Structure 1
Amino acid sequence: MERKINQHIKDILSIIPDSPGCYQYFDEKGTIIYIGKAKNLKKRVSSYFNKEHEIRKIQVLVKQIKDIKYIVVDTEEDALLLENNLIKEYKPRYNAMLKDDKTYPSIVVKNEYFPRVFMTRNIVKDKSTYYGPYSSAYSAKLMLQLLKELYPIRTCYLPLTPETIQQGKYKVCLQYHIKRCKGPCEGLQSHEEYLENINHVKEILKGNSSEVSQLLYQQMQKLAEELRFEEAQAIKEKYEIIENFRNKSTVVTPTLHNIDVFSFADTEKSAYINYMHIGNGAIIQAYTFEYKKKLDESKEELLSLGIIEMRDRFKSTAKEIIVPFLPDIELENAVFTLPQRGDKKKLLGLSELNVKQFKVDRLKQAEKLNPEQRNTRLLKEIQDMLHLEKLPARIECFDNSNIQGSDAVAACVVFLMGKPAKKEYRRYIIKTVVGPDDYASMKEVVRRRYTRAINEGTPLPDLIITDGGKGQMEVVRAVIEDELQLKIPIAGLAKDRKHRTSDLLFGFPPESIGLVQQSPLFRLLEQMQNEVHRFAITFHKEKRSKSQTRSELDQIKGIGEKTKVLLLRHFKSVKRIREADFEELKKVVGEAKAKLLKHWTEPNVPG
């Protein structure tokens, strides 16, 4: 089928180069609706217009494209960087968007005579050194707390210079008196000693805590040899603090240094990516983020976006990137590793553990805000588990109830999008079956329900569930498929010896699906089974109660339903009505009906 393309688009496609670059699609209002990157601009852009697309969203996108612009770059990596920056700037409607795009905190060592160290979200080009960004303010504050425990760094905003200190312009503050600062403002700490501490701080912020630890250990040993035990003890306390920090943060051998790790998980609408940066075997940075899918992007494409975004945001220059699968990109200054064993595999496993937990947490949060989303997910589980063609939005469940064949009834309950639709519940009195035959009763009810549905054009279910095992499933199948020629999936809910929900059966011959006990899906199916059983039992009790009353009082002509209710409410049983004298009956129902009752209990009494 030839696609109609306007002349303006044809002209652009005829001249677009074979180079790597970025392309922008505009709608009739001149708004950018999609930004993409390509190794070969001509092939990539032309593919949108010279073939049919199965994905509905892409079809809609192509129909809206009224203009195309492109930017040529040197490499595919440059194209991806440019695409990332353009998407963040223009936020096009059809691009996968990073859900969390806030500014993250960094720790800065200010370019000052006595440098301060503090947390900031603003990057100023004043030759200060910035470390991070950190994935949260909490993690940045923890690092600052560690640094303050190790080194007495000033926290004041005084513009300290050799001249102002010599002139005695400033006085020490509370921080000096509680021994959190050594008073450089009054010249009580030398510039050289302060800068040595700052150099240690920089190494720790770089992730080189092992080098600082080793240096402290050597200083401690030297002081001990010189019998300067108090000074050695002070160094020892710093050494223990930093060793404790290293033991908590080290996850693999310290030989693994300057490595990025990425892992991936997704749902139908979102993709989740975990990023970790490793230095000296420790996690220096860790962050999990979410992309909202727009055009059914591949996992390779989404992972590529995540890699570029995180390496740019966290200023990573790692030469090695550990990934679960190869992304849709090649980087000039880095190689991708798919580890099979060892410490690198352990790092990937840790990253995957975090991304899976993040996914679960996000789904739980969404379900709390929107309970219907939970039911949709559970129905999708049923669809996938049973390989159904469509989501089982309408589920109908059946159950029988009788005692030794008497007062046999059946019930059907309806669940719409996982919720009971009580207005659509139906109760059936078994008409054609004599004796306790559950299979024949089920056959009758299913036949009656769906014959009527066909005749009246009412909705048919996406899934039928029987409260029973293989036998019940087969009789339902015989009616649905053989008699009525309908194509409706049929499942059975089996029970254990204690009459509790135990398994879901599906297929012919039926096979166990294997429900995870007490999982959300198990509880939904258990709710359906309990509901249809409750509805059937309640109807059976009502019918049995009425039949017991009818067998006695309904034989009396002139005694109606209201009179029966009055009599039973007052005398509590038919036996007591029989035993009551005329005056008692008269007080309850009047003289005329009392005479009718006495003629019933004592036929030979003259009226």
Structure 2
Amino acid sequence: MASEHIENKLALLPNEPGSYQMKDKNGKIIYVGKAKNLRNRVRSYFKLEHTGKTAELVKNIADFDFIVTNSDKEAFLLEITLIQKWQPYYNIRLKRGTGYPYIKISNEQNPQLILVSEVKKDDAFYFGPYPNVYAAQETLHFLQKVYPLRRCNGYQGRPCLYYHMGQCLGACFREVPQSEYEAEIKKIKSFLNGNTSAIKQKLTAKMETAAANLAFEQAADIRDQIQFIDATVEKQKIISQDATPRDIFNYYVKDGWLSIQIFFIRQARLMKREKRFFTLVDDPTEELVSFILQFYNRKNTKLPNEILVPATIDHNLLEQILQVHVKTPQRGAKRELLDLAEKNAQIALDEKLRLMLLSDQKTTGAMQELSKALDIPLGHRIEAFDHSHTQGVDIVSAMVVFDDGLPEKKLYRKYKLKTINHADEAAATREVIRRRYTRLLKEKAQLPDLILVDGGEIQLDAAKDVLENELRLNIPVAAMVKNEHHKTADLIKATGDEHLNLNPKSQSFMLLQRIQDEVHRFAITFHRQLHGKNTLASRLDSIQGVGPKTRQKLLRQFGSLKKINQATIEEIEALGISNKTANLVKVSIAAALRANELKK
């Protein structure tokens, strides 16, 4: 079953051709595909039953992205480029090559024109890939007839058959001047770059002559040849007509938001796409100029040879600062790429705005349901608390903050509990509630609209006691209860300790679930960090010659047994520790790690 986030994005997919990129929970691209219709193709992954590797892929998809193209063929070519760039795990078929041919002009003394399945890192010239394999083969044969290079195996002391047919320059029996090869290669490059009109005119004239002479079979062959040329060397918008490194910037504005798309064209391919969103506070063209300057001011950002921008952008300013050609193409493939960037910016912003609207509607609905169930005024801020320990050792508390249903991680807080040294949920709750809200009152900071504790009546009563009887605060409190599977099960109301029995499919229940999972994660993470440091500290205390100051230096610099074990004696001595003590530390830590491994 798809997550709520994916379901929302599926509903917003366009009925356009393009390439889609599936991502795992870490944001890594694990599969790249193409589609004639992005909406239908991407939805099929989550709406149909799958088996084998497809089922495994779908199980690991946490998010997806897409790039809209102008045709299915462009989507195919972009798919190949992205697969070669990202090497996604599940693209087994295309990962080590496109599966479709390239036409190659070899780089050797007597070059030849050949069909290959992949691009190698050499000085040869490659054209393609070509989706229509048969058309590519026929076009290659046509080129070999019209623009001869070498078709034989090399010098053999006599002319080969191809030389007699006019399809080889004669490397088989003579030393061919490089100027002859260069002249033919120049014509081949021009042809494969799309300059085919002259050749097609000649072929069309031959076809018409053959038809007039009733040589219909010959006319049909010539007609097919023209179609093969069109299928093979048709101009592509995703593959530009030259190999100039260029970046393309375009934007779209709507409802106070600015959407920016950047296309990175390298080696005549769209190698990468980035998208950014900003709330608009100035003129959009000024914002885009500022963004471009900041974009290239980043560390290790290499400038291209050319930047394409909309006509409204200040070209002179960008050129003076960046020292790069800045242009606005008026027609042709570059113009179409610029327009495609704008189209993708519009689609991306429309998707973001609709997702924001859905999120706002669901969050508002969840807060309204909670306020109604708890019989409290509708609020915006929720603060939730949880405790963590290991058999009563290293007891900690943690607090998370949700504003309008979204986590505000900058406001999260961790607490090392001071007043207890054993597992006492009530005492832990009292201490952390007292510390948190005494501080807020002292600083006259914003108080929450609702406080949630992760536990049952014991924690709920402890929180109420401190808030009402000590701090004289009238803040609603409720307790989040888990079932035997440690999953969110219910909510306990502060007044009368009433169980609310929320609908598990309701928006309010889902919000509670997110909050409870987040505060538990935050508390557990903090406890593990503290417990690990305390375990390391106690281990260091047992080493002769390691006192409080030395222990503190080691903890601050390395933080774990493993990192101390990996450090050199010189790195430990650099902290002002003697050679004798450094060696003792290394030996003791190595022994401790070996003992831990044996226990496992």
TM superposition score normalised by structure 1: 0.35
Whose radius of gyration is greater, 1 or 2? 1
TM-score by length of 2: 0.35
